[in-house]
Amino acid sequence: MAGAPEPESYWQAVRRFSDSYSRFPPGVDHELVLVNSNNGLTSSLAEAFSGLKYRVIDYDGGGRDIGAHQRASLSLGDDDWIMCLSSTSYARSPSWLKAFVAARDENGDGLYGSTSSFEYSAHIRTTGFFMRVARLREYPRICTTREECLAFESGQDSITNSVRARGLGAWVVTPDSGTLRLAESRRVPHVFRKGNQSNIWIYDGQTDLYDSLAPKQRDILRWRAEDIAVPGGWRRSLRRFRERIWR
């Protein structure tokens, strides 16, 4: 409804990102691009970015964050690099982008993520990923639905598999354990859905969910992220909070 206030969750996510962006500088020169998805960036929400230098790109479509990333890539050069953050992403420490640039400079072209999961298939999670614009454009499908966005992240034709099929690497960049190949990314402590999750550069709604749960429920999510079967006696607990798990 025109003129209606934004849901509180919008305010929280936008304000948290803008606050973290100001409080924890990325550490390298860059351009901040905000994607106005389906006219969601109202003047009241834009106030959260007051004092920051940014450019706005309009996106009208059903592709959620992934479609917005793909739209943003059209305004950049093939050899530019893009750090794609989701609607709920935010940082908790400075120089986060500098860490990804350093990992790229050391390892070369490929896909770099803040977190990984082996649920469904081993993949870089798309709430914080860094890659050459040309590689993002090479993805064979423009995402226009929720299902296509999920496939982009963790399907058989995921962006991870798309990049690896071209002979390039997929890495997870961490504050404490350095840059890890995807296959090794679940072996270190405190990464996504593991321990206290302190070994992460970019946080999001799913890391927040894990932090909010009781230990037993955290264990279930850790098992899922590591592609470990959930013991039968724990499945009822899984069903009770499954509806809270969203991407």
Q: How many domains, in total, are found in the chain? A: 1
| Residue 210 in domain | no
Beta carbons of 52 and 32 less than 8 angstroms apart = yes
**CA separation, residue 106 to residues 48, 66, 173, 230 (Å):** 35, 27, 12, 38
Quickly state the pLDDT bin for 245 (edges 50, 70, 90). very low
The residues, ordered by sequence, that sit 6+ positions from 149 with a Cβ below 8 Å of its Cβ are: 63, 64, 65, 66, 67, 126, 143, 247
Supply the pLDDT for residue 40: 82
Structural domain boundaries, residue 96: 8-204
Q: In a 3-state reduction of DSSP, which class is residue 238?
A: helix
Give residue 1's pLDDT.
33
User: pLDDT tens, 66-121?
Assistant: 999 999 999 999 999 999 999 999 999 999 999 999 999 999 999 999 999 999 89
| 224 falls within a domain | no
Give dist(CA 44, CA 10) in Å, integer. 11
Q: Tell whether 175 is covered by a domain.
A: yes
Domain of 46: which CATH number?
3.90.550
Residue 16 inside a domain? The answer is yes
**pLDDT at 128 exceeding the cut of 90:** yes
Please report whether residue 32 resides in a domain: yes
Choose the weakest-confidence range: 74-78, 94-98, 171-175, 236-240: 236-240
Considering the domain boundaries, does residue 164 fall inside one? yes
> Residue 185: inside a domain, yes or no?
yes
pLDDT per residue over 36-49, tens digit each? 988 888 888 888 99
The answer to whether residue 239 is domain-embedded is no
Q: What is the pLDDT of residue 8?
A: 63
Give the span between the Cα atoms of 224 and 229, in whole angstroms: 7
pLDDT at 39: 85
Q: Strand 90-91 and strand 33-37: pairing? A: unpaired
CB-side exposure of 47: number of CA atoms within 13 Å?
A: 7
pLDDT of 46 reads: 86
